[in-house]
Amino acid sequence: MSSPLLVLPGRRVLRAGPVSAAIPLRTVAVTLLALAATVAAGVVAVGHGDFPISPETVWQVVTGGGTRIERHILLNLRLPRVLCGLLAGAALAVAGALTQTFARNPLASPDVLGVTYGASVGAVAAIVLGVGLIPIAALAGALLSAAAIYLLAWRQGIDGYRLVLIGLGAGQLLAGITSWLLLRADVADVSRASIWLSGSLAGRDWSHVRPLAVALVVLLPAAVAVSIALRVLQFGDDTARGLGLRLQGAQLAVVVVAAALAAAAVAAAGPIEFVAFVVPQIALRLCGGSRPPLVASAVLGAFLVVGCDLLARIVVAPEELPVGLLTAMVGTPYLLWLLLRRSRRISG
């Protein structure tokens, strides 16, 4: 790499003495645009409702001004909901990007780690048995099933292929338990459970946002750190080992970070459908490259969820839909358009 004429397509190479770095210009541009769109969607979302608040007032309130009622509506009702969507979307998208790269499978999502299915069993059991504490039940279900799947897949080490297959089997088992619980529940509980199962941000407050924010502060840097190992892992387990990667440690780190991110998001907002699967694929097609970019996925995930929640409050106003129904309705056409426009073969 000593050639001074080294040219990387689509990247600007920065040099400072012996240090050099390649900046993927397109990824940076996509990320910045998505960030601007997310902020705009967030401002509109906190302003929209029965009591409309203009963007200037939003700014005044955030900086400490505004009337008492404006402060109450914004800070206690709307901001937690928007932040919850923002953080959950980012967490799910990063978890999806990690899982798809780790499994080398574009159809994979944290579902193969059992997170969503386990969380669903926990939450539906809490609803049907009338225990309450839905977020805690969901978190416990998610983490327990992810741990169980990892342990079941352990046989003198973890093999990505075996982990995916075992996660698949375990996911079906957990989905079966959820159906079984739903068949035995009374109809009112089934309705409540199906709203939770769609993924909804209704009624989310700071008690949902705080744990999720703490989780992201810890886990997002961890995700970027483990993604360095993933760069090698995508060539296959044997090649990665040959290149000097400590395979078991790297795989454990990826699985733990991805499962924890997804679990935190699902506990707060329910299994918002499709974000973990579709956003990494959209980010990959927007940014180019050989694997889904993490930061761009996080920002696009946040944008998708916040934007869809805003739509979910507008389309059937004064009623509202669970945001998880909108993410698929909005995300699908976009993914299909990307697929059609440039049908490149990406094997994940």
Partner 1 sequence: MTAAGTLTRTGRGSRLVGLGALLLLAAVAVLLSLGLGAQALHPAEVWQALVHPDGSDATAVVRELRGPRTVLGVLVGLALGAAGALMQGHTRNPIADPGLLGVSAGASLAVVLAISIFKINDFHGYVWFAFAGALVASVLVFSLGAAGAGGPTPVTLALAGMALSALFASFTSSILINDPDTLSVFRFWVVGSLAGRDYATAWAVLPFIVAGLIVAAINAPALNALGLGEDVARALGQNIVVARTLGVTAIVLLAGAATAAVGPLAFAGLIVPHIARVLTGPDHRWLVPFAALLGVSLVLIADVAGRLIASPAELQTGIVLAFVGAPFFIWLVRRIRMVRL
- Which residues of the chain form contacts with partner 1 (CB under 8 A)? 105-108, 112, 152-153, 155, 161-162, 164-166, 168-170, 172-173, 175-177, 179-180, 182-183, 187-188, 190-191, 194-195, 197-198, 273-274, 277-278, 281, 321-322, 324-329, 331-333, 335-336, 339-340, 342-348
Helices (H), 104-205: 115-128, 134-153, 160-184, 187-198
Taking the mean position of all CA atoms in its chain, how far away is CA 168?
19
Which residue, 212 or 325, is less far from partner 1 as judged by CB? 325
State the minimum distance, in angstroms, from the CB of residue 309 to partner 1: 14
Which residue, 120 or 281, is less far from partner 1 as judged by CB? 281
Which residue, 28 or 177, is less far from partner 1 as judged by CB? 177
Which residue, 197 or 286, is less far from partner 1 as judged by CB? 197
State the minimum distance, in angstroms, from the CB of residue 92 to partner 1: 14
State the minimum distance, in angstroms, from the CB of residue 204 to partner 1: 18
Which residue, 273 or 309, is less far from partner 1 as judged by CB? 273
CB 93 within 8 A of CB 301: yes
Which residue, 13 or 336, is less far from partner 1 as judged by CB? 336
- Return the residue matching tokens 């959209």: 282
DSSP string, 83-108: HHHHHHHHHHHHHHHHHHHHHT-TT-
Q: What is the enclosing helix (H) or strand (E) of 77? A: none
State the minimum distance, in angstroms, from the CB of residue 66 to partner 1: 35
* Cβ-based burial of 293 (10 A; exposed 0-12, middle 13-18, buried ≥19): buried
Which residue, 179 or 207, is less far from partner 1 as judged by CB? 179
State the minimum distance, in angstroms, from the CB of residue 152 to partner 1: 6
State the minimum distance, in angstroms, from the CB of residue 147 to partner 1: 15
Separation CA 60–CA 64 (nearest Å): 6
Separation CA 342–CA 129 (nearest Å): 49
State the minimum distance, in angstroms, from the CB of residue 190 to partner 1: 6
Which residue, 56 or 186, is less far from partner 1 as judged by CB? 186
CB 322 within 8 A of CB 53: no
End-to-end CA distance of the chain: 27
DSSP string, 270-285: ---TTHHHHHHHHHHH
Any idea of the CA torsion for 170, 174, 175, 179, to the nearest 10 degrees? 150
CB 275 within 8 A of CB 304: yes
Which residue, 55 or 176, is less far from partner 1 as judged by CB? 176
Residues sharing a CB contact under 8 Å with residue 96, sequence separation 6 or more, in sequence order? 109, 110, 262, 275, 276, 277, 279, 280, 292, 297, 301
**Cβ count within 10 A of residue 279:** 32
State the minimum distance, in angstroms, from the CB of residue 154 to partner 1: 9
